[in-house]
Copies of this chain bind each other. A is one copy, B any other.
């Protein structure tokens, strides 16, 4: 410590600082000594390993796979390791989920996606002491190739997905090494909420998960959620293509804000500026005016809304439908509800493993639906809420708590988690909503609900340029800004209706989850833009 450093410091302080510095120096010396010792040990081990190890060609770290060779070696997937493969010698690629050394043995749990299998190395004919030690020291999450014999086990291995077999490892090579310190532990990340509390075990909070999404997505729960979500998209499209729908691609960069300009993101576009589409609606409708008759699209939807709730995202995936009909917009409601029912059935029949996996961490009741889908009128819903003690006006929109309460009342009365609410008050819907011809207070519009939360909003649209102009003026919308929209209907437009579904909400509510960030791989909200 130089004089300059202690200028102006009192004697006591000086002494304290000297002591601190001394301690620090001692610590560092100890650290260096330990390190040197460790290195010496490692070198000795290495030498020992190389000199005496009869198994030295049976383990190690592979050079980075750079496509050096086309190896003619089949890799068996963990999920395919069943008693039928007993006594076969096979190769497996998997991550090290856990590893535990015990005397001359090393127990590994190997993981690939949702599937795990136990693997055993024991000092003997095929494995040396050094080889077992090597295996025991491998870091969790490293990817390895092992050659092993599949062995049937007497007692089921409860901790693994493959309960009837284990692997007796004969060769083990590292394909990609993980750093030793993981930002979160997978076993913590799949622990049901509350379960860890009593035993002082950790669960992982949402921000830590999302900050380290690459690891969080490896959990059985995440793997199941996003495989099921892929299924939702596939079922949605397959059902609609079977019904004669055409898939369209609509632009996301648009020149004018479609619905008056609120909650819209601005983009710089060369020398001008543009906006991100809040919905593909205008374009879907243009396709209807262009005779495509039945169209759908799957794509991002952007909402610059500063809503920090469990169910709002600033960017989400819209499953959008638009359809010309003959005489009544209920033809469209029927098409949409049938599509939803096909999705529910497909998930139930084809994704049972995924549903059960998610339920282990987040228990929920199986999703219930009726055929045909229950359709209630808004009026009836208001009456049911009033009967339950809610005070609300005829033309008032549903608040979120009332929406949920209504869901519970409907579930109790009709035993369904899915229903349609039809004939919303005209006052609470956008200007392009077709008024009800029999009662000007209402409209030909509808929402759909899953477990008491809205997943779709839709309506018959005004397809007549003159009425559309009147409605826009009634809403005090600048006609100049929506001229192109209105002009679309001047050259013959079929009556049509449609709606937009939020993919993340459908996945969340089907699985009975409670936050839409769990069903968005890389969620965007007012406070999160990464990863």
Which residues of chain A have a CB within 8 Å of any CB of chain B? 64-71, 73, 75, 93, 95, 112-113, 141-143, 175-179, 182, 213-218, 222-223, 226-227, 229-230, 233-234, 237, 241, 246-255, 265-270, 272, 274, 276, 283, 286-287, 289-293, 298-300, 302, 304, 306, 314-315, 317, 326-330, 434-435, 437-438, 444, 460, 463-464, 467, 484, 488, 490-495, 503, 520-524, 526, 529-531
Contact = CB atoms under 8 A, between A and B. Distances in A.
B217 A317 contact: no
Contacts of A70: 327-328, 330
B274 A488 contact: no
Contacts of A520: 249
* Copies of this chain, count: 2
Contacts of A326: 71, 73, 75, 93
Contacts of A227: 246
A286 B531 contact: yes
A269 B306 CA distance: 10
Contacts of A289: 214
A194 to B, nearest CB: 26
A522 B255 CA distance: 12
A213 B247 contact: no
Nearest to A271: B526
5 contacts: A143-B492, A214-B488, A218-B290, A253-B265, A267-B276
A369 to B, nearest CB: 24
Contacts of A254: 529
Given A176-B494, A246-B230, A283-B522, A464 B64 contact: yes
A529 B255 contact: yes
A287 B299 CA distance: 19
A485 B514 CA distance: 29
Nearest to A222: B290
Contact of A270 (B255, B293, B306, B491): B306
